[in-house]
Structure 1
Amino acid sequence: MKEYSPYHIIHVYLDQQLTQPQLATQQGNYLVFWWQDVALGQLFIEPATEINYSEELLKAIAPAINYYTQLQEKEATNWYHWIINHQFEEWSSWMRELLLPYSHAVLPEIVPVTAIVCSRNRPIQLQNCLNMLSQLRCKPSEIIVVDNASDDENSIVNTVNQFLEAKYVREPRIGLDIARNTGIQKASFPIVAFVDDDVQAHSLWIYYVWETLQNPAVAAMTGLVITSELATRAQYLFEKYWSFNRGYVDKVYDRIFFSATLTQGPPVWRIGAGANMAFRKDIFNEVGYFNEMLDVGAAGCNGDSEMWYRILAHGQTITYNPRAIVFHEHRKELAGLKKQIFYYMRGHTAAALTQQKQHQQAGYKRYLLKLFLKAYTRSIVKGFPDYQAKYSTLWAQISGAASGLAYYFRNKGKLNNAISK
């Protein structure tokens, strides 16, 4: 196996430069493009690869620029010529006007949001997370840390006690969705936002969570997750093939999306990541709480996407807002990645069959059949004999999905009855 060289992550601010940044020459580069606080796109540059920077920049940011242009009903311009010719003044003037609605010179100091952090046995990550939340430019009214049966309770308590704005809640039953439900029940404010203890949030994260859910038609939202590190092969593989990043353009998931995809099995896992999601608290009275037989401590994953499925099945709307941003640190070791993927597919399969039971017209059985008989068979053939790159987790995927089938049929009564109000 070829030795892995860490990727250099560069955040390029296009409100400051159009010229190519200084790139690492002996390793890969991962560029994230911004205009002030708005992320516009990304670019992987493989090691020892020559590129036409302006052309690659154009391709990376075009979807976002075109989206904001249409949203603001701006006339089409030759903005791409400004980039190619490095006409910074023309570009800068036009972009300032285009993204003026997102400049936010004045922000509310606090908004009525409860931020929930579920943590288990990770006091260092939790401290970093709470330190980050305490320094946001717009802060939540309440922070609840749900200690999900940590072995050393005192270390979590002592960490939380360092932050006056944080409230400690002990949940003695192991399970991420159990912890999430406990946090919801303890929340005092009408919006609940979930963030993992291993992420760092952008300073405007809570503001955009709150702003998104000011629309009474929106029941839930997810946001952009950007990788914070590509130091190891496992982190690179995850970001390249399993990324939490859902792009740089707003998306709407509603009854139209649900109806259009029902017979294929709505791909609710595309909506976002549980590391960055928020809900109106009252939606749980309508659709029920998180299914406690899914996610970490049970099936392994997909409690979030199963919840999104139920919200859509009730005719409600979920949006993806790429301006609500967090930075996630992926697992460093390949063994840890394979274990993660195993439980992703275990939970994914169990959740799909649970969703099928809720809505008999849903095409999840057909979807799973194609996954096993077509997708995995094709991957086995294409990956042979070395199973490198995206095929390196193939056996974890297949065994995880098979384990998910067994888990579902062994626990289908509990899975289908684990949703309570």
Structure 2
Amino acid sequence: MRNHLPYQISHIYLHEGLSLPSLSTHDQGNYLVFWWHDVALGHVFVAPQQSLTETSYHDKLIEAISPAITFYKNQAKMSPTAWKEWVYQKKSLALETRLNNLFSPVSQDAIPDRVPIAAVICTRDRPSQLQNCLSMLLSLPCRPQEIIVVDNAPSNDASAEVVKQFGEVTYIKEPRPGLDIARNTGARDAQASIVAYVDDDVTVHPLWAYQVWKTFQDPGIAAMTGLVIASELKTEAQFIFEKHWSFNRGYTDIFYTPDFIQATLSQGPPVWVIGAGANMAFRKELFEQVGYFDELLDVGAAGCSGDSEMWYRILIKGYTIHYNPRAIAYHEHRREIEGLKKQIFYYMRGHAAAALIQQRQQKAGYIRHLFWRLPKQYAQLLKSGFPNYRYRHKTLFVEMLGVLSGLNYYFKNRQHARQ
């Protein structure tokens, strides 16, 4: 069986040129992310040994960025143009004039040094990742007003020693294990009116804090999620995750309102599509209105999904969540298959438990989702993956075990579930 080949991530800035970049394809694949200055527009996978001509490259480029260009064009109420032909003809000047006008509503003229948000990092026994994360946050051209590290049931003082190196960072030791417990501790301690969460294994775009703050300048927004781009795709596990479990929710703004719940109520609202807990933020006052993260869904307990259950609660209470793709984080996926399988097991364990908790809050189609659609989906995947079970099919058995484990966990602990 041929070994999986790594994928090289290349960030292509279209304002710098439209020509086919120099790509090595013999012993690697390529993952291309397209940008116009600070706005991410789309991405494309180029398989190993897949050769590209100038024309085929432009075909893939146009297909990848068309949804974002159309979205921004509609937002700006601009008439259609021949921008696709300009790409093929490499008319950089014409394209630059047009796209600069197109993105002017989301461009930044003056960026403040700090914005009044609290960045909360929940960590546990990962001092090297924490050090990198704090160094990165403190080097941003626009920094959060507060940075809070919640050290979640640590086995030693390594993280506390790391935080001592950064005088502006608040350290909180939370002895009770659980990600949602740590999230709640950070939210309660934050002084800023906006609470943003960052995983200790992510880096963020230089304008991340600014974009988070800017999102909440709309008084109708109660919470937000942002774009998450893979930072590495060297291993098979990382490739599988990005292809089939990606945190990337696209390159166009989405506003999730209570209508989203009503429109999908019969199928079980898929709140897990709203974003990723690695890049999310809330108005602090919102926690008093809808409650804090459900600690029944912690890693080590149900598994996870505390973030998606929170989004469900926010929407059924009548609030709006904004997915803002200009607030960007880069996530380091797990490198080993066993680590990926463990991650996916807990994803599905938490998914099942959260779905039943959400069902109790408002009757929806989660029972049908768990006991009809998911089994049907897994039956089809088992059939299509037989007998080798490669790539997407490698995690099938831990996924199914995770669902069963989540159901068992919920029924054992349902008396403690949020009413």
- Tell me by how many angstroms 1:131 deviates: 0.6
Partner in structure 2 of residue 198 of structure 1: 201
In the alignment, which residue of structure 2 is the partner of 1:144? 148
Partner of 1:41: 42
Q: Could you say which residue in structure 2 is the equivalent of 1:397?
A: 399
Aligned to 2:316: 313
Residue 354 of structure 1 deviates from its aligned partner by 0.4
Secondary structure of 2:15's aligned partner? coil
Paired amino acid for 1:35:
W
Once residues 253 and 263 of structure 1 are traced to their aligned partners in structure 2, the CA distance between those partners, rounded to angstroms, is 17
| 2:210 equivalent in structure 1 | 207
Q: Which moved more, 1:243-252 or 1:364-373?
A: 364-373
SS of the equivalent of 1:352 reads: helix
Q: 1:84 aligns with which of 71, 88, 103?
A: 88
Displacement of 1:211 in angstroms is 0.6
Q: Which residue of 2 aligns with 1:294?
A: 297
1:192 alignment partner AA: V
- The one-letter code sitting in structure 2 at the alignment partner of 1:125 is Q
The residue type equivalent to 1:313 in the other structure is I
Q: Distance in 2 between matches of 1:277 and 1:296?
A: 18
Q: 1:165 aligns with which of 163, 168, 186?
A: 168
2:269 is paired with a residue whose SS is: coil
User: Cα–Cα, structure 1 residues 372 and 43, in superposed 2: closer, same or farther, change >3 Å?
Assistant: closer
Q: For residue 398 of structure 1, give the secondary structure of its aligned residue in structure 2.
A: helix
* Rounded Cα–Cα distance in structure 1 between residues aligned with 2:131 and 2:383: 46
- Report whether the alignment pairs 1:57 with 2:61: yes
Amino acid at match of 2:202: V
Most deviating of 363-372 and 188-197: 363-372
- Determine the C-alpha separation between the residues in 1 that align with 2:148 and 2:380: 45
Q: What do residues 376-412 of structure 1 show as CA deviations (whole Å, max 9, x unaligned)?
A: 1111111111111111110011010011110110111
1:224-258 deviations in Å (ceiling 9; x for gaps): 00000001000000000000000000001101111
- The separation in 1 between residues aligned to 2:301 and 2:259, in whole angstroms, is 32
> Percentage identity across aligned positions?
55
| Deviates further, 139-148 or 367-376 | 367-376
**CA apart distance, 1:415:** 2.4
**Residue equivalent to 1:266:** 269
Distance 2:10 2:375 in 1: 41
TM-score between both structures, scaled by the size of structure 2: 0.98
- Tell me the secondary structure at the aligned position of residue 137 of structure 2: helix
Distance in 2 (alpha carbons) for counterparts of 1:252 and 1:101? 17
- Secondary structure in structure 2 of the residue aligned to 1:108: coil
1:43 positional shift: 0.4
Give me the whole-angstrom Cα distance separating, in 1, the residues matched to 2:92 and 2:248.
29
Counterpart among 390, 404, 407 of residue 388 in structure 1: 390
Q: TM-score scaled to structure 1, two decimals?
A: 0.97
Instruction: Look up the match of 1:130.
Output: 134
Match of 1:3? 3
Equivalent in the alignment of 1:232 = 235
Which letter does structure 2 place at the counterpart of 1:384? F
Match of 1:328?
Answer: 331
Structure 1 CA distance for aligned equivalents of residues 146 and 289 of structure 2: 23
1 CA distance for matches of 2:21 and 2:173?
47
Partner deviation per Cα, 1:282-328 (whole Å, 9 max, x = no partner): 11101100000113131111000000000001011001000000000
In structure 2, C-alpha distance between the alignment counterparts of 1:6 and 1:318, rounded to whole Å: 36
Matches within 5 A, 1:354-369: 354-360=357-363, 362-369=364-371
- Counterpart contact for 2:76–2:105, Cα < 8 Å: no
Question: In structure 2, which of residues 93, 98, 102 is the aligned counterpart of residue 98 of structure 1?
Answer: 102
State the AA in 2 paired with 1:247. G
Distance (Å, rounded) in 2 between the aligned partners of 1:249 and 1:370:
32
**Is the contact between residue 229 and residue 329 of structure 2 (CA under 8 Å) also seen in structure 1?**
yes
SS in 2 for 1:273: coil
Gaps of at least 5 residues in structure 2 are none
Question: How many equivalent pairs are there?
Answer: 415
Instruction: List gaps (5 residues or longer) in structure 1.
Output: none
Alpha-carbon distance, 1:75 to partner: 1.1
| CA shift for structure 1 position 373 | 2.9
Letter in 2 for 1:408: Y
Report the equivalent of 1:69.
73
What is the correspondence of 1:220-259 to structure 2 with a 5 Å cutoff? 220-259=223-262
